[in-house]
Structure 1
Amino acid sequence: MDPEMFLDVANSVAELHMFPYFDIANYALSCIHVRDDMNPNFLIVSRKHPFACWISSMLSCFAGYIVSNLLLGEMPLAPFKSAENVALASLVWYLIFYSPFDVTYKLCKWFPVKAVLNVLKEILRVHKVHHGIHHARKMYPNAYLVHIIIGVARGAGAGFTKVIERFIRGTWTTTGHEFLQPSFPTKACFAASVFFVLEDMTDWMTWPHSIGYLVVVIFFVYFKVSSMLLHIHDPFQPIENLFCAVFMGGLTDALSRALQSSREKSAAKVPGAAVVQNGDGDKKKL
């Protein structure tokens, strides 16, 4: 591809407007995630507790902004000040849960439509990460760790609010949260946040910012499509396993187990010693 054409594409992607199409994809997939998480109690919650269903769905739709605002000391309800976004998210929620014959849910689960929705959502996720870092940089210019944390919270906030969503719907699970079992979107948002922060704080990344932005978008879209087609759900896992084995005590634990097993085998090979009784009635081995 011609470099100038590639740069034009990168600039176009970086300047995309997210509302309304990318937001619709995010709202639809967020509501589908909430609905799938309800099974097998979907009908009970959606029919008997529609308000709790709506609250948990809105929390999932705007989770990134709510979590990042809480961390920055801002109003967590600020995402709901836009009547257009709330109305659009509520319309999508209603269609996902209450459309006649469940046609909207089935259409969104149809693979071609699902693939398009996921691609749009991943592009929106990169946009959230980038703008979260930019917002945090305005408040704390040199706090690079804060920039990374806000980028992750803005891009993968739904994973951190899952426990609260379930609590609102009457299900309390204290072990199924993102800190214990981080998902691929959280890890990918962390990698993207580190990349954007390094791009801003170092001089050796000499390419235009839009090129780096496009590379991150391609990374997110590629692995999302791969997970749908090839069922590759976490490409970071082999790297994590190697890192933990080398630096997090894996090698030490393996050596300890090997030494313990060797000692047990050596002890098992020693023949049993004869036992005699002395004059005091004590037993000793010969």
Structure 2
Amino acid sequence: MDALWALQLGELPATFSELPMFPVFDLGYYIVSILYLKYEPGAVDLSRRSPVASWLCAMLYCFGSYILADILLGDSPIDYFSNNSNVLLASAVWYLIFFCPMNLFYKCVSFLPVKLIFVAMKEMVRVRKIAVGVHHAHHHYHHGWVIMVLIGWVKGSGIALMSNFEQLLRGIWKPETNEVLHMSFPTKASLYGAILFTLQQSHWLPISKANLIFLFTMFMVTAKIFLTATHSHASPLAPLEAYICPILFGANSQEENYHGSAHGGSHGPAPAQLAPQPAPKSKEDLNEGTRKRKAKKAE
């Protein structure tokens, strides 16, 4: 029995899951993705110095998930670029964000109320890509659960997993920013979503795909709108992870630090309590402040 039968949602999930993503929702996805590219240090200078490299970075931000999934499945990594409409739309967004006169387009789409709408659109596309990725992998490997999870995860967070390669195009090498080592909320959520869709695809989760798409989309949209509106990088999944991870994987980092200090001197003083640190500013805020200061100096 479907788990949502008691909610009596009727045809809403089915209608929602059949909404076409192109061009409206894909447009929102491209706008937010290329906005995040512009927030990266040196991205604006790169667009003036080497527009081709900047365009390639923008295409990776928009289509990196497809490229990485095709590589893993043994298909051509440039196959998605045969979709001329998507490439032209993403290219137009890249040009307007970086080269529009007086930065008008960037100012409009980065205005917070407008940006939140595009963020919601991007999360709708993300969840659909996870579901399609799991279904695509199931078509190739009917019983390959790990492959289905991996492809769904890659489809949901491809550019984050390819961030080090994208940095090389901008002339930057920061291996310590590896997304697998320091997962952001979208990357973690994409992994959990891929697991859920894999269980549903394998008939281990008693819920229809349309209902799962609807529920997971509502979760992702709500979480990302809240995080973007509050300029926070905290994960809504952190409380649950803090409870489950010590049970599944042993002591947490705080306990390890305590045991490490105790091992250094069993009769020594107890470790000092650290004063609470203020919440760090997001990369978005820091880069925006830097650009404003440079503009004031130029004036």
Q: TM-score range by the shorter chain?
A: 0.7 to 0.9
**CA 159–258 in structure 1, closer or farther in 2 if over 3 Å, else same:** closer
C-alpha distance after superposition, 1:170-212 (max 9, x if no partner): 111111121111111111111111111112223561x433222
State yes or no: 1:92 paired with 2:93. yes
Q: 1:158-197, aligned counterparts within 5 Å? A: 158-197=159-198
Contact 1:226 1:232 in 2 (8 A): no
Bigger CA radius of gyration: 1
Report the AA paired with residue 98 of structure 1. F
Corresponding residue for residue 288 of structure 2 = none
Shift of 1:261: 7.4
Q: State the secondary structure of the residue aligned to 2:234.
A: coil
Q: State the secondary structure of the residue aligned to 1:115.
A: helix
Instruction: With the length of structure 1 as denominator, give the TM-score of the two structures.
Output: 0.84
Contact 2:135 2:201 in 1 (8 A): no
**CA 177–141 in structure 1, closer or farther in 2 if over 3 Å, else same:** same
Shift of 1:222: 1.3
Q: Percent identity of the aligned residues?
A: 30
Report the AA paired with residue 35 of structure 1. K
- Give RMSD over aligned pairs: 2.3
Corresponding residue for residue 84 of structure 2 = 83
Contact 1:52 1:169 in 2 (8 A): yes
Gaps of 5+ in 2: 270-299
Report the AA paired with residue 52 of structure 1. A
State yes or no: 1:208 paired with 2:234. no
C-alpha distance after superposition, 1:110-162 (max 9, x if no partner): 11110110001100001100000000000000001100000000011010121
**CA 44–20 in structure 1, closer or farther in 2 if over 3 Å, else same:** same
Q: 1:195-234, aligned counterparts within 5 Å? A: 195-202=196-203, 205=206, 207-230=207-230, 231=232, 233-234=234-235
Instruction: With the length of structure 2 as denominator, give the TM-score of the two structures.
Output: 0.81
C-alpha distance after superposition, 1:67-86 (max 9, x if no partner): 11111111110110111111
Report the AA paired with residue 216 of structure 2. V
> In 1, Cα distance between the equivalents of 2:261 and 2:99?
59
Report the AA paired with residue 170 of structure 1. G
Corresponding residue for residue 71 of structure 1 = 72
Shift of 1:241: 3.3
> In 2, Cα distance between the equivalents of 1:4 and 1:246?
33
Aligned residue pairs total 262
Contact 2:43 2:170 in 1 (8 A): no
Gaps of 5+ in 1: 267-286
